[in-house]
Amino acid sequence: MRALRKAGAALALCAAALFTAAAPAVADGNDGKDAQNGKDGLTEAGTNFRTATALEQGEKATATASTGDYLYWAVPVAAGQVPTVEAKVKLPDASARHGGATWQLDVYDGLRRHQPCASGSPTHHADQQDTSVSLSCTVRQVRSWSERWANDPLPGAYYLRLTVVDLPEQDLGLPIDAEVTTTARDAGGKHADGGELAEPLNPSLRAGTIAEPDSEPPSDADSGSGSDSGDADEDSPRAVAEPEDGWGSGWWSDRWVWTAGGGALGALAAVGGYTLTRGPRSSGTGSGRPPADG
Amino acid sequence: MIIKKRLVTGAAGLLAALACGLILPPTATADEPSRPSPKVELVLDVSGSMRARDVDGASRMSAAKQAFNEVLDATPEEVRLGIRTLGATYPGKDRKVGCQDSKQLYPVGHVDRTEAKAAVATLRPTGWTPIGLALRGASKDLAGDDATRRIVLITDGEDSCGRPDPCDVARELAADGTHLVVDTLGLTPDRKVREQLSCIAEATGGTYTAVQHTDELSSRIKQLVRRTAETPVQTPTGVQGAAQCAKAPELGTGLYNDRERFGEHRWYRMKVAPGKELRASVSVAADRAVDPDYGVLLRAVTPGGRELVRGSEAGSGRTDVISTGLRYPVADADDDEDTTPRTVCLELSQSFSAPAGVKRTPGLPVELAVDVVDNDEPPADVAAFGLGRGWVLLGVLAVTGLVAGLVWGWVARWRITVWRSN
């Protein structure tokens, strides 16, 4: 009996170990970026699209790097939001530099399409005596749906790339400190649009597989490569984690208030109009009539 | 009796432990079925010039040693680390012998700190600088399983051997499909060193750092080692696009890499079932000196040659990659039974060009990200749920209501009049 109890305890321990082991594995599924997520926020940047460091909206990410490095981050943006990216680069000592340099902040969507900045200053020239350079980029409002031929921003991962685009050759490799934050404001009901993307543009980070050239075409049940992307992809690591409020803008917008208000106003106006036509008659025949004498 | 009881307890415990062991490994590795620990090799220049005392008043060699000690202390457990030297043994003048001087100081594996430190302590600045040879050697040291690989090259001088050109070697190694990244650290602010080291870094997607202080050196190496541990283990699958769609390789979903020469077109194929949407992104990296204006074009084409949709991008100036992407939803078939996947061809071309004197082979690195997801319906209305908004809407509704009320009122009045008169 005791033996059994001991075995039970061992199994319980085992289960505990299992859970603790499973927890980091799940975190790994989220890109394994949590390890870097210390008290000071993220302190690393990726060096290409595939290794871009995932951050959340409002989170400040810093990175120590060399002048000339290409620094990548990825941030989730939902439909109906207008994201603004701000970056600040602390430049090397003016004495070590040999002239001015031009810094640039680029934003790419989850399909790696370059997204233009609707406002902000994504490119900035820093003079030799400047100690830091600030860049910002506000992307167009993220739509909930767009036609396939359009380049409209869609919900999903957005890649930020920070680099120097023009510099004196001697300054390559000098140390810099970079800092980025992404904030997003809600575009509001004015821009609440219809439609919904079945899946956000959140790229999978899984290695691909190549079908054998002479292999049988996949059976109907598998329905081609679609099957690979089905349930299996749910588990595969993605560029960014889904935001708390989901990828969509939700069903609510102030259009409901306007439309319902409009309906009520219309109804009131109808009652008013009706009363107007009845008004003179009722005053003629009803209480408006002069009281009968005697 | 007691012994027997103990035996039973032991057996039960063993059983539990076994069960535990059986359950645990799959959960720990559920996400990545085979996850070889990342490998990194530090390649240190021990040539004679490392004697120069210009890093915070100490010699370059002692700065490097101090940095190495700090790095060895900070190396994450999961990283397999090795050390290779160049120019450490032959002090003579014979170029031929001096340019073969590169050896592995500490084999790639889980680090025994004391052993590794002792090995580093023995180094004395000695010989030549055969960087190309050392890179090839380091690549061999890192060969083996499918782990992520990184070489960190620390040097104070340009390759004094000339052949093989280290930059070409780096590009060849990167094109080997081993996903090798070379990060370089230069200890001298010399133009030739900078050009050579940044060329090596550019060729492999690595970084170049100019080091001026000891603390910069150690923190940068630590950062690079840490980066090795954090890089996603899933490396893209190698694929070779064909010159035409009919012969193109068929891709599933996920990440792929390829090489495309200047002016070349590459074709790939995808099978997409009705009701699914194809998403493809591509980035072409500039891993060598290229002309300042460039572009990329990705087209989705039917096997018959009709263009379905395209993604394109152009740019100019300094860049690491140029990228674009496209979405192609395959409409649901009229017949629900028809689930035959449609073949979609992807054609990739880029308009990079290189100045004369730049090597044309191997081609530029290409990374493809392909995904197939559910299709989405076009929205019934551009506005959310077809709802309205604004003062005009309110005005229209109010006026409509008023008119309706008036008309209704007049009709009612007229009917009463008619009824009364009867």
pLDDT digits (tens, 9 = 90+) for B306-329: 999 999 999 999 999 999 999 999
A7, A172, A269 ranked by CB distance to B198: nearest = A172
What value does the mean pLDDT of chain B take?
A: 86
Claim to verify: residue A48 and residue A78 sit in the same structural domain: yes
**Dist CA B282 CA B297 (whole Å):** 9
**Residue percentage of chain A with pLDDT more than 70:** 72
Are A35 and A46 in a shared domain?
no
Domain count, chain A: 2
Q: Are A127 and A192 part of one and the same domain? A: yes
Cβ distance B384 to A253 less than 8 Å, yes or no, reads yes
Q: Is the peptide bond before A217 cis (omega within 30 degrees of 0)?
A: no
Same domain, A47 and A31: no
- CATH code at B66? 3.40.50.410
- Residues B238/A83, Cβ–Cβ less than 8 Å: no
Same domain, B99 and B151: yes
CB contact under 8 Å between B388 and A262, yes or no, is yes
**pLDDT tens profile A160-176:** 999 999 999 999 999 99
Strand partners, A126: A101
pLDDT for A90-146, tens place per residue?
999 999 899 999 999 999 999 999 999 999 999 999 999 999 999 999 999 999 999
pLDDT digits (tens, 9 = 90+) for B69-99: 999 999 988 899 999 999 888 888 888 888 8
Q: Could B279 and A111 be called an inter-chain contact, meaning their C-beta atoms sit closer than 8 Å? A: yes
With CB atoms and an 8 Å threshold, state whether B379 touches A201. no
Output DSSP code: residue B16. H
The reply to whether B256 and B204 lie within a common domain is no
Q: Same domain, yes or no, for A22 and A144? A: no
Containing structural domain, residue B172: 39-230
Does residue A273 surpass a pLDDT of 50?
A: yes
Q: Is the domain of B318 the same as that of B360?
A: yes
Supply the pLDDT for residue A40: 52
Residues B246 and B154 in one domain: no
Q: Within a domain: residue A275?
A: no
Neighbouring C-alpha atoms within 13 Å toward the C-beta of B391: 0
CB atoms B28 and A237 under 8 Å: no
What interface predicted TM-score (ipTM) does this complex get? 0.87
Q: Is residue A272 part of a domain?
A: no
Query: Do B199 and B315 belong together in one domain?
Result: no
Closest chain A CA to residue B219: A64
Cα(A188)–Cα(B227) distance, integer angstroms: 40
Would residue A34 count as lying in a domain? Answer: yes
Nearest of B257, B314, B322 to residue B284 by alpha carbon? B322
Strands B102-110 and B149-155: unpaired
Q: What element of type H or E holds B417?
A: helix B391-421
Reported as a single tens digit per residue, the pLDDT across B4-38 is 555 444 454 444 444 444 443 333 333 444 568 88
B238, closest residue in chain A (CA to CA): A208
Do B142 and B284 share a domain, yes or no? no
> What average pLDDT does the segment A192-215 reach?
82
Same domain, A30 and A119: no
| Smallest CA–CA distance from B24 into chain A, residue | A18
B103 and B52: one domain?
A: yes
Looking at the complex, report in whole angstroms how far the Cα of residue B25 sits from the nearest Cα belonging to chain A. Answer: 9
| Residue B208: inside a domain | yes
**Do residues B44 and B120 both lie within one domain?**
yes
Does position B212 have pLDDT exceeding 80, yes or no? Answer: yes
Which of B311, B329, B404 has the CB atom closest to A113's CB atom?
A: B311
Same domain, residue pair A66 and A196: yes
Cα–Cα dist B6/B13, whole Å: 10
Q: Is residue B4 part of a domain?
A: no
DSSP of B204-220, one letter per residue? HT--EEE--SHHHHHHH
Same domain, B100 and B201: yes
Q: Nearest CA to CA, how far is B379 from chain A (Å)?
A: 4
Query: pLDDT at residue A41 above 90?
Result: no
User: Is A268 a domain residue?
Assistant: no
Within a domain: residue B23?
no
Residue A59 sits in the same domain as residue A120: yes
Range of the domain at A149: 41-206+239-247
Chain A residue numbers with beta carbons less than 8 Å from the beta carbon of B272 are 224-226
Determine, yes or no, domain membership for A221: no
Q: What is the mean pLDDT of residues A58-72?
A: 94
Pick the residue from chain A with its C-alpha nearest to B254.
A208
Domain assignment present for residue A137? The answer is yes
Over range A232-241, report the average pLDDT. 73
User: Based on the structure, what is the number of domains in chain B?
Assistant: 2
Pair (B175, B262) in one structural domain:
no
Same domain, B46 and B185: yes
Q: Of B230, B249, B271, which residue is a domain's last?
A: B230
Q: Among residues B181, B211, B230, which one ends one of the domains?
A: B230
The answer to whether the CB atoms of B406 and A274 lie below 8 A apart is yes
pLDDT digits (tens, 9 = 90+) for B130-149: 999 999 999 999 988 778 88
Q: Do A258 and B412 touch (CB under 8 A)?
A: no
User: Is A33 in the same domain as A52?
Assistant: no
- Residue A61 inside a domain? The answer is yes
Give me the CATH number covering residue A160.
2.60.120
Looking at the structure, tell me whether residues B150 and B244 fall in a common domain.
no
Q: Are residues A17 and A112 in the same domain?
A: no
| Interchain pair A36, B230: CB under 8 A | yes
Residue A224 lies in a domain: no
Domain end: B215, B230, B245, which one? B230
